[in-house]
Amino acid sequence: MNEFSDDDLERYARHIFLREIGGPGQKRLLSARAAVVGAGGLGSPAILYLAAAGLGHITVIDDDAVSLSNLQRQILHRTADIGRPKVESAAEHVAALNPGVTVRPVAERLDGGNAEALLEGHDLVLDGCDSLATRRVVNRAAFDLGIPVVSGAISQWEGQVTVFDPAAGTPCYECVFPEDPAAGLAPSCAEAGVIGALPGVVGAMMALEAIKLVTGAGHVLRGEMLVFDGLWGESRKLRLKPRPDCPVCGGARAAEAG
């Protein structure tokens, strides 16, 4: 993209005024391609903010349909969307927000058989899915493709966000979570509940990390996990290190062999 249209200049003026983004950063956003795995609680705000920011192409991957119980927190969807595929609802509402953004809806469950094909060609992945098995598949495919993953997770009142980017010498998902938690220790939102605004906070943080990754602005949460406690209004950062015996990245191949 060489020039902004008059509409672009008005729509993205607040980005262009930021010295950390400016015109060059906004052009990078308009040319970027992001895959979002999950159009639910975390995917909803992330997709909306990426679209509002002008991230040019968003692939939304989700095989689920909108249900009434989703609407307490999944702000991308409306009551009239109940029963529709989430990816269709996502594409429709992004088009209404910013028709300059292209959305590719993929109504499939991402798995080991299709992950690389679905993620290939993207600049980054946002993982907001609710399946630990799918997170591992995303991690493996993204590592093999050399794509960073912005990862978010929530439960009850607490959420976390980090960027897995082994190509930059930082951990992958398997480094940090080598084993699934024992049964009952990590209940789903359907089992344990979740405060409705929490995914909005964490999903917006995911979009912010994605925007920084694309534009090069500021400090990205590579090798760090930001943990947010909504009940007490507190946040903290945890340092994450590559694990040399990681079966996926080998500690980013032992930090490129020392």
Digit-by-digit pLDDT tens for the chain (258 residues) are 568 999 999 999 999 999 999 999 999 999 999 999 999 999 999 999 999 999 999 999 999 999 999 999 999 999 999 999 999 999 999 999 999 999 999 999 999 999 999 999 999 999 999 899 999 999 999 999 999 999 999 999 999 999 999 999 999 999 999 988 776 666 777 778 999 999 999 999 999 999 999 999 999 999 999 999 999 999 999 999 999 999 999 976 655 555
HEC readout, the chain: CCCCCHHHHHHCHHHHCCCCCHHHHHHHHHHCEEEEECCCCCHHHHHHHHHHHCCCEEEEECCCECCHHHHHCCCCCCHHHCCCEHHHHHHHHHHHHCCCCEEEEECCCCCCCCHHHHHCCCCEEEECCCCHHHHHHHHHHHHHHCCCEEEEEEEECEEEEEEECHHHCCCCHHHHCCCCCCCCCCCCHHHHCECCCHHHHHHHHHHHHHHHHHHCCCCCCECEEEEEECCCCEEEEEECCCCCCCCCCHHHHHHHHC
Q: Letter for the amino acid at 34?
A: A
Supply the pLDDT for residue 1: 56
Report how far apart the first and last C-alpha atoms of the chain are (Å, whole number).
Answer: 39
Other residues' Cβ atoms within 10 Å of the Cβ of residue 113:
10
Tell me whether strands 57-61 and 102-106 are parallel, antiparallel or unpaired: parallel
Q: For residue 239, is it within any domain?
A: yes
Q: For residue 76, is it within any domain?
A: yes
Structure tokens at 43: 């995917």
> Which residues, listed in sequence order, are joined to residue 159 by a DSSP beta bridge?
154, 228
Please give the angle made by the CA atoms of 71, 77 and 78, to the nearest 5 degrees.
Answer: 75
Q: Are 173 and 134 in contact (CB under 8 A)?
A: no
Residues known to be catalytic = 189
Q: For residue 1, is it within any domain?
A: no
Q: For residue 83, is it within any domain?
A: yes
Containing structural domain, residue 90 = 32-257
Q: For residue 206, is it within any domain?
A: yes
CATH code: domain of residue 112? 3.40.50.720
Task: State the sign of the Cα–Cα–Cα–Cα dihedral 165, 171, 177, 179.
Answer: positive
Q: For residue 14, is it within any domain?
A: no
Residue where the block lists tokens 């308009």? 30
Q: For residue 212, is it within any domain?
A: yes
Q: For residue 211, is it within any domain?
A: yes
Task: State the sign of the Cα–Cα–Cα–Cα dihedral 206, 208, 213, 214.
Answer: positive
Total structural domains within the chain: 1
Residue range 44-99, pLDDT digits in tens: 999 999 999 999 999 999 999 999 999 999 999 999 999 999 999 999 999 999 99
